[in-house]
Amino acid sequence: MERARPLPSRRRLLKGAALAAVPYALLPDARAGAQAQAVDYPPAEWESATTSNYTVSNRPTSYDLDYVIIHVTQETYADTLAIFQNPQKKVSAHYLVRSADGHVAQCVRETDVAWHAGNWDYNTRSIGIEHEGWVDQPAYFTDALYEQSARLTAAICAKYGIPKDRAHIIGHYEVPGTDHTDPGPNWDWTRYIRLVNFA
Active site residues: 130
* Kind and range of the H or E run holding 14: helix 10-21
Question: What is 106-137 written as a DSSP string?
Answer: E-S-TTSEES-SS-HHHHHTEEEEEESB-TT-
Strand partners, 68: 127, 169
Q: How far apart are CA 174 and CA 185, in angstroms?
A: 13
CA–centroid distance for 2 within its chain: 62
Instruction: Report the first-to-last Cα separation within the chain, whole angstroms.
Output: 78
Q: How far apart are CA 110 and CA 59, in angstroms?
A: 7
Burial class (CB in 10 A: 0-12, 13-18, 19+), 178: middle
Q: H helices of 22-170, where?
A: 30-38, 77-84, 120-124, 143-160
Q: How far apart are CA 85 and CA 53, in angstroms?
A: 8
